[in-house]
Amino acid sequence: MSEKSIVYWASPWELMAFPNSAKNIITNNLVKTKFLLDKILDGFINTGDKVGVKVHVGERYNTRYLRHDYVREVVDAIKAKDGIPTLIETQNLGMDIQHINLSENYSINIMRRKTAAEHEKTAQLHGYSESIVGAPIKFIDGDKGLDGKIIEIDGIHLKEVSVGIGLYEFDKIVAISHFKGHQAAGFGGAMKQLGIGFLSKTGKYRSHFNSDMSINKKRCNISKCSQECIEACPVNAIKIESESAVIDPSICVCCTACLEKCPVKKAINRDFNMDFKNFIERVCDNCAAVINSYGPEKFRYINFAFDVVAQCDCVATPSMPIIPDLGIFGSSDPVAIDKACIDAETNAPGLPIMDQNGQWKEPTPIGIEKFNAINKMVDCSWVFDAAVKNRLGNLDYELIKI
């Protein structure tokens, strides 16, 4: 792409409020969200369009997820244009809730966004419910995250991707992202939302792991278990042969439920992808599958760069904000909007972060890319290199201030 893409930007600056001051309220971030939406949704929604509003409701005990107030503004803007909005989400990998004992009398449950029933409870806890934001929530990969549509691509690594099948029930998509860091992808924005957030569990697994799930026959011992793996498998891909479990890869959907239930350590294999550049390239492969199978013209993107922390909304402890708020960004180009956010993050001053001893660390200076400065294993430039290879959008953009 040669021409510059347009990225609209609303500054995070807010004037302190005084009673009955229209000048002050117009600097409110929710008000500015409305102004930005007027730009990116202009001519985009037709009367009666079913509009999927992609969100990430955040993990339990995470207090840095995107406030539901901003989602409400998006929903209201779609309704004002006679569209029919629905919040859309997908399930996390696995099936089991993780129990953590913090002390003799206190335990918590996290990682609950793995089935629709538990995911919806977390959504409601964080204000992502119809009674609050004005739109229902739908899980486009089904109740267990297994409902995917296989999309064939010619990606850097992947040749097919399992996309949540419910995506294709909508006429248009508005993808909302909380811009922040990510432990493996470098950062999370529009492309991370596309490349992981729209996938079924099978698609997510293929991004994170190098091989199919398999049985370690040296470790599998059916005399030490009750064949919990067979009961856990939602697609009947496991059976017993010659005193050992066997996984049929042609049936397995890689949900990891068997691994969670197996009582024998290391009896089930999965090869986690520790090559983060490879992981990022797979995420961008996934983006290509989502965009090209649905239609790039049917997407709009909005990145909220508030509470910019080091890790993503899917973890319970994402750390402290590492830079000041950057504002709100909107575009029809997922690459341009993410590049604008990274440029703004690089040009922002770092914030001091307190360590476990109560001492303040020296903040990262202006001009240094903050996510890489904190996490040396990942380079955010890898995202844009892979995006260009997959022709996802434009690195050149014009930033227009709202």
Domain residue ranges of the chain, discontinuous segments joined by +: 5-208+273-401, 214-269
Query: Given pLDDT bands bounded at 50, 70 and 90, which one contains residue 2?
Result: low
Please tell me the pTM assigned to this model: 0.95
* Beta pairing class for 397-401 and 5-10: parallel
Question: Picking from 75-89, 102-116, 164-178, which range would have the lowest pLDDT averaged per residue?
Answer: 102-116
As a whole number, mean pLDDT of residues 308-322 equals 93
Q: Name residues whose C-beta falls within 8 Å of residue 20's C-beta, 6 or more positions apart in sequence.
A: none
Q: Which helix (H) or strand (E) segment is 336 a member of?
A: helix 334-346
**Higher pLDDT among residues 302 and 22, named by residue:** 302
Measured distance CA(275)–CA(208) in Å, rounded: 10
Arithmetic mean of pLDDT, 115-138? 97
* 107, 100 contact by CB (below 8 A): yes
pLDDT for position 109: 85
Widest Cα–Cα separation across the chain: 79
Pure H helices in 109-211: 116-125, 130-133, 190-195, 201-208
First to last CA, the chain: 25
CATH architecture of 214-269: 2-Layer Sandwich (3.30)
Least confident of 14-28, 69-83, 166-180: 14-28
Q: Which residue in the block uniquely carries the two structure tokens 């739908």?
A: 138
Which residue type does 363 have?
P
Residue 106: phi, psi to the nearest 5?
-140, 120
Kindly indicate the confidence band of residue 20, based on its pLDDT and cuts at 50, 70 and 90.
low
CA dihedral of 245, 251, 254, 260, whole degrees rounded to 10: -40
Distance of CA 208 to the CA centre of its chain: 14
Q: What is the pLDDT of residues 177-206, one digit of tens each?
A: 999 999 999 999 999 999 999 999 999 999
Query: Which among 186, 149, 193 is positioned nearest to 279, based on CA atoms?
Result: 186
The pLDDT value given to residue 24: 83
Residue 368, pLDDT > 80, answer yes
- On whether the CB atoms of residues 146 and 202 are closer than 8 A, the answer is yes
